[in-house]
Amino acid sequence: MSDMTETTPGWLTSDELEMARAHMPILYVEAVPVRVDDSGEVTSIGLLLRIGPDGTVSRTLVSGRVLHHERVRDALLRHLEKDLGPVALPRIPTSLQPFTVAEYFPTAGITPYHDPRQHAVSLAYIVPVTGDCRPRQDALDLVWFTPQEAASAAVQGEMPGGHAMLLKQALAHAGVAI
């Protein structure tokens, strides 16, 4: 066994992850953080500001892998806390039926979703948050947009890899008129 082996259950080493990505789809969860009013209507959408490995700045959704032996509900909570902070107070839906399943391919153009690293299948959720959101990890900031601002060409143009399409689907699923 290598000294580089991660001892946390469910984690792969960088080499193991690269090998798995080359041979099989990886399961992800994605969350569109929203604020809702008393009637449950979406009033704002939170988008993360990140710097990519190539130095480009983009807006993204909460996203991450589901670990081996981890429930989808737990993965959603873990990634929301990782990206939005421990006091975001997300309200995970009682039903874990995603609003869509996004299939990312390393080859662009097969679906609207593209991830050059891998073939990934992502369960996508709209998650209301009520607490104080303070981005952590590799997120620089979290900016709240009105649904109209989030659907604008300017904001959509800052969302790579199909996240703009995913956001449009989330807004349509939530019944937001744009």
Q: What is the pLDDT of residues 116-147, one digit of tens each?
A: 989 999 999 999 999 999 988 778 899 999 99
pLDDT of residue 10: 63
In a domain, 27, yes or no: yes
Does any domain span residue 117? yes
CA 99 to chain CA mean position, Å: 13
Asked if 89 and 131 touch (Cβ cutoff 8 Å), the reply is: yes
**Per-residue confidence (pLDDT) for residue 151, from 0 to 100:** 94
pLDDT given for residue 75 in this prediction: 97
110 three-class SS: coil
Half-sphere exposure in the Cβ direction for 83 (13 Å, CA) = 27
Q: Evaluate whether residue 8 is within a structural domain.
A: no
State pLDDT tens for residues 47-95: 999 988 788 899 999 999 999 899 999 999 999 999 999 999 999 989 9
| 12 found inside a domain | no
**Tokens in use for 42?**
């979406």
Q: Distance between alpha carbon 160 and the CA centroid of its chain, in Å?
A: 12
- Tens digits of residue pLDDT in 101-124: 999 999 999 999 999 989 999 999
Q: What is the pLDDT of residue 12?
A: 80
Residue 34 has pLDDT above 90, yes or no: yes
Q: pTM surpassing 0.75? A: yes
Residue 126 belongs to some domain of the structure = yes
Domain count across the chain = 1
- Domain span at residue 88 reads 20-173
> What integer pLDDT is reported at residue 8 of this predicted model?
57
Does a structural domain hold residue 7? Answer: no
pLDDT, position 2: 40
Which CATH number do you get for residue 91? 3.90.79.10
Q: In this model, does residue 6 exceed pLDDT 70?
A: no
Element (H, E) at 123: strand 120-128
- By the 10 Å C-beta count (0-12 exposed, 13-18 middle, 19+ buried), 140 is classed as exposed
Instruction: Give me the chain's average pLDDT, please.
Output: 90
**What CA–CA distance (Å, rounded) separates 60 from 18?**
22
Query: How far apart, in whole angstroms, are the C-alpha atoms of residue 18 and residue 154?
Result: 34
Asked if residue 40 belongs to a domain, the reply is yes
> How large a percentage of the chain has pLDDT more than 90?
76
Q: Does residue 74 lie in a domain region?
A: yes
For residue 161, CA distances in Å to 21, 99, 105, 114, 156 come to 17, 18, 10, 5, 11
